[in-house]
Amino acid sequence: MKDYRAIEVTQSGQVATIRLRSLTELFKLDPPADPHMDIPLALEELRSDNSVRVIVITGETDGEFLVPPSLEYYKSGRATSRLANPNGAWNVGTGIVRTHQMMTEIEKPIIAKVNGDAIGFGQSILFSADFVIARDDAVVADGHLSMGDVVASDGTRTGTPFGVAPGDGAGALIPLFMTPPLAKEYMMLSRSLSTKELAEARIINRAVPIADLDSVTNDFVDGLLRRSAFALAWTKRLLNRHVATQLNQTLDAGVAYEFLNLAQIAHTGLDGDPSTLG
C-alpha cells in the first residue's frame, strides 16, 4: 500500500483497516494533510486487492473518529483562505465526491467502527459506510450550520463559527436516514445526537460500551467473511443502487454550494452574522 499522510492503512488476513488521523494535527502541517484525498485513493487500491474482503474505518485514537479543528482554527482564516482558493477547493471538493463514490461503489463491505466523536466530514463518512458500530457515548453532528455551537465530548467547541452549506456528503445522505422534518432539524439547526440515540432510532447498527466495540465489530467482520465473496459483492452493489442515485442527484450540488458559500465568506468577511443577506 502507498504511504498516506492523513490516514494509516493496515491489513490483517482478509480485513483492511483505515485509521483516520486527527484533523487538528493534520491541519497544522504545511501543506495540510487531507483525508478527503487520501481516503478515495486508499479505497481504489483496496478495491483491486482481492486479498481484502472487508474494510474497517476507525479513528486513530479512541475518543475521536473524525472531528473538525476547534473554533480558533476557523477564526484564524486559514480554513477559508485555503478552501476559497481554486486549488484548495478543487482538491477538497473532488476528494469529497470520490470518497462517497468509492465507498458506495466498492464491492467490499465497509464497517465504520466509530471509536469517538464523528462531526463534520466524520459523520459523512459514518453515514456513507455499509455498517456502523459505535461506542455509545460518542457525539455525532453535521456542524456546517452550527455557528460555533457544536461541542465535542471533551467540551471543545468545534467546527466553523459561521454558517456554510453542507457539502461534504451529509446533505446528500441524511435524507436516506431521517424523515424530512428530522433531517432539517439535524442539519439546519445543527442538532448533535449521541450514537445511542441513533442506534435506538435504528439509524445505525449498534451503539455499545467502548469496552465492547472491538468484539462487536469483530462479530460483524466474522459474519461477513463467512458469506460467499461473490454473492456478498453483488448484494452490496444491488442494495447501494439507490444510494448511488441519491449521490448522483445531490452530492455535486452540495459541494458546489459549500464552496460558493466559502468564497462569499472569504470575499465579504462575513463572521456568522445571520442578518447579512443581500
Percent residues over pLDDT 70 in the chain: 93
What integer best gives the mean pLDDT of the chain?
91
Find the Cα–Cα–Cα–Cα dihedral 72, 75, 76, 78, rounded to 10°. Answer: 100
Which of 83, 74, 7 minimizes the C-alpha distance to 43? 7
CB neighbours (10 Å) of residue 13?
Answer: 11
Is residue 133 within 8 Å of residue 216, measured between CB atoms? Answer: yes
Fold of the 7-212+225-268 domain: 2-enoyl-CoA Hydratase; Chain A, domain 1 (3.90.226)
Q: What digits encode the pLDDT tens for the residues 228-270?
A: 999 999 999 999 999 999 999 999 999 999 888 888 887 776 5
* Interatomic CA distance for residues 190 and 171, integer angstroms: 12
In three-state secondary structure terms, 277 is: coil
C-alpha cell recorded at residue 218: 469483530
CB neighbours (10 Å) of residue 178?
Answer: 18
pLDDT at 272: 46
Q: What digits encode the pLDDT tens for the residues 2-28?
A: 889 999 999 999 999 999 999 888 888
Mean pLDDT of 63-80: 79
Mean pLDDT of 213-241: 97
Which of 102, 11, 118, 7 minimizes the C-alpha distance to 55? 11
